[in-house]
């Protein structure tokens, strides 16, 4: 491994590749072509902001993985991947955003050289980073290969984290707690939202002690008032106002590992409806955490939450959480299991979830969430040390 390149020891990458190859064998695949940058990083250590062009990792049942991408990014691959340079391939710049040729033509040439022109090759078809055009070209260039959907094959192997991964998540969790406190302390009537987000971003990148902060896969979400009735809104230049709730959906990040955390601040005195919803939500969170034990299922967490909310007259639909860990924009979730009533994924020690029982009501929103690690015995490890409540600021 090049000195100082990939963030983990070789044994960790060997473990990941062995798990992935076993999954490939179960799926009857000779090779996979992985385009999700999180999966690329998990297998090879590659870390660069180059996922806007075609790139990926080729993994067969023999030898190291091969990183393939734009030639100018192959230098970065050499700086961050654990493999030697002969396992890093770069295509010429005249392929980039060309109407005359496509990068998949270059990839197909390499696959033919590797003896995969008749192979069973899995690709990530339901993925942000693999386009319909890319698939069309690759299939046409390799007419004798069997190119099939292997979406989330690698993602599922990432679900149970190693101890070294959990340490990275815990470091991210420390940053998450810090930036949430910054947001809560700074929030006040008259403060421009963009100034608040600037303070959050500065704290996130500065990190905590010797734990430096990486960029998040999702930007800070900080809606107020009516905007907080919707999920996934960001910020603007408006000033915060008395009489409004603002929720903060944030994540600290350490070496691409996330630990999302949400808290809500109310400027002024919340009404009884908000206080009653808070009480129901907090009771539901406790019930969900108690259900988040090894051997139970993800649906058990969701049903425990939903049952409590229903007793309080609150009907909640949709997911209440998802696995997290290593990720790149535009999403910090791993896109495998879900905390919802129909998902029966069995919980195992080392799984990490963002337990996200948010409430979006007609006139306001309330987000109080936790990143949790499933433990060997008993309830999960909760990474945040920020009090679980609505923060009321007169």
| Per-residue pLDDT tens digits for 149-172 | 999 999 999 999 999 999 999 999
Distance, in Å, from the CA atom of 380 to the CA atom of 42, rounded to the nearest integer, reads 24
Domain presence at residue 5: no
Same domain membership, residue 252 and residue 143:
no
Same domain membership, residue 181 and residue 70:
no
Query: pTM score, two decimals?
Result: 0.96
Domain presence at residue 4: no
Percentage of the residues of the chain whose pLDDT score is greater than 90: 97
pLDDT digits (tens, 9 = 90+) for 30-62: 999 999 999 999 999 999 999 999 999 999 999
pLDDT digits (tens, 9 = 90+) for 299-333: 999 999 999 999 999 999 889 999 999 999 999 99
Domain extent, residue 30, equals: 10-157
Task: Give the contacts of 25 (CB within 8 A, at least 6 positions apart).
Answer: 61
Which residue in 79, 85, 93 sits closest to 45, CA to CA?
79
Percentage of the residues of the chain whose pLDDT score is greater than 70: 99
DSSP track, 69-120: EEHHHHHHHHHH-SS-GGGEEEE-GGGTT-SS--HHHHHHHHHHHTT-TTSE
- Identify the domain boundary among 127, 157, 187: 157
- Identify the domain boundary among 157, 185, 208: 157
Which residue in 325, 323, 322, 291 sits closest to 305, CA to CA?
291
Same domain membership, residue 380 and residue 276:
yes
Same domain membership, residue 283 and residue 371:
yes
- 262 has pLDDT over 90: yes
Domain presence at residue 296: yes
Same domain membership, residue 337 and residue 205:
yes
pLDDT digits (tens, 9 = 90+) for 237-250: 999 999 999 999 99
251, β-bridge pairs = 260
> Which pLDDT does position 318 carry in this prediction?
87
How many domains are contained in the chain?
Answer: 2
Distance, in Å, from the CA atom of 141 to the CA atom of 49, rounded to the nearest integer, reads 28
Same domain membership, residue 373 and residue 233:
yes
Q: How confident is the model at residue 1 (pLDDT cuts 50, 70, 90)?
A: very low
Q: How confident is the model at residue 5 (pLDDT cuts 50, 70, 90)?
A: confident
Task: Give the contacts of 370 (CB within 8 A, at least 6 positions apart).
Answer: 261, 285, 289, 354, 355, 382, 383, 384, 388
Domain presence at residue 2: no
């Amino acid at each position: 491994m090049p000195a100082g390149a990939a963030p983990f020891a070789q044994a960790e990458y060997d473990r990941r590749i062995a798990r992935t190859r076993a999954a490939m064998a179960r799926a009857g695949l000779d090779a996979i072509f992985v385009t999700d940058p999180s999966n690329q990083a998990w297998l090879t250590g590659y870390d660069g902001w180059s996922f806007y062009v075609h790139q990926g990792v080729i993994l067969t049942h023999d030898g190291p993985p091969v990183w393939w991408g734009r030639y100018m990014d192959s230098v970065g691959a050499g700086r961050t991947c654990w493999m030697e340079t002969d396992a890093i391939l770069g295509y010429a710049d005249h392929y980039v955003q060309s109407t005359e040729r496509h990068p998949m033509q270059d990839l197909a040439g390499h696959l033919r050289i590797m003896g995969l022109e008749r192979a069973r090759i899995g690709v990530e078809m339901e993925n942000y980073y693999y386009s319909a055009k890319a698939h069309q070209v690759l299939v046409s260039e390799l007419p004798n290969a069997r190119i099939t959907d292997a979406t989330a094959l690698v993602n599922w192997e990432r679900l149970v984290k190693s101890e070294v991964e959990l340490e990275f998540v815990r470091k991210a969790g420390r940053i998450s707690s810090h930036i949430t406190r910054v947001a809560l302390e700074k929030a006040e009537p008259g403060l421009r939202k963009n100034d608040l987000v600037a303070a959050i971003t500065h704290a996130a990148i500065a990190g905590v002690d010797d734990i430096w902060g990486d960029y998040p896969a999702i930007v800070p979400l900080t809606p107020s008032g009516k905007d907080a009735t919707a999920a996934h809104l960001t910020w603007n230049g408006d000033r915060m106002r008395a009489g409004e709730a603002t929720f903060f959906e944030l994540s600290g990040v350490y070496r691409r590992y996330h630990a999302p955390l949400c808290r809500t601040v109310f400027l002024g005195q919340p009404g009884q409806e908000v206080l009653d919803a808070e009480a129901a939500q907090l009771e539901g969170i406790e019930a969900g955490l108690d259900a988040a034990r090894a051997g139970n299922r993800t649906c058990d967490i969701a049903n425990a939450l939903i049952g409590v909310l229903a007793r309080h007259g609150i009907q909640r639909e949709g997911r209440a959480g998802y696995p997290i860990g290593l990720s790149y924009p535009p999403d910090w979730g791993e896109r495998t299991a879900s905390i919802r009533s129909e998902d029966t994924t069995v919980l195992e020690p080392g799984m990490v979830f963002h337990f996200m029982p948010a409430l979006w009501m007609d006139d306001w929103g309330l987000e109080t969430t936790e990143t949790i690690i499933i433990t060997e015995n008993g309830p999960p490890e909760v990474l945040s040390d920020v009090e679980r409540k609505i923060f009321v600021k007169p």
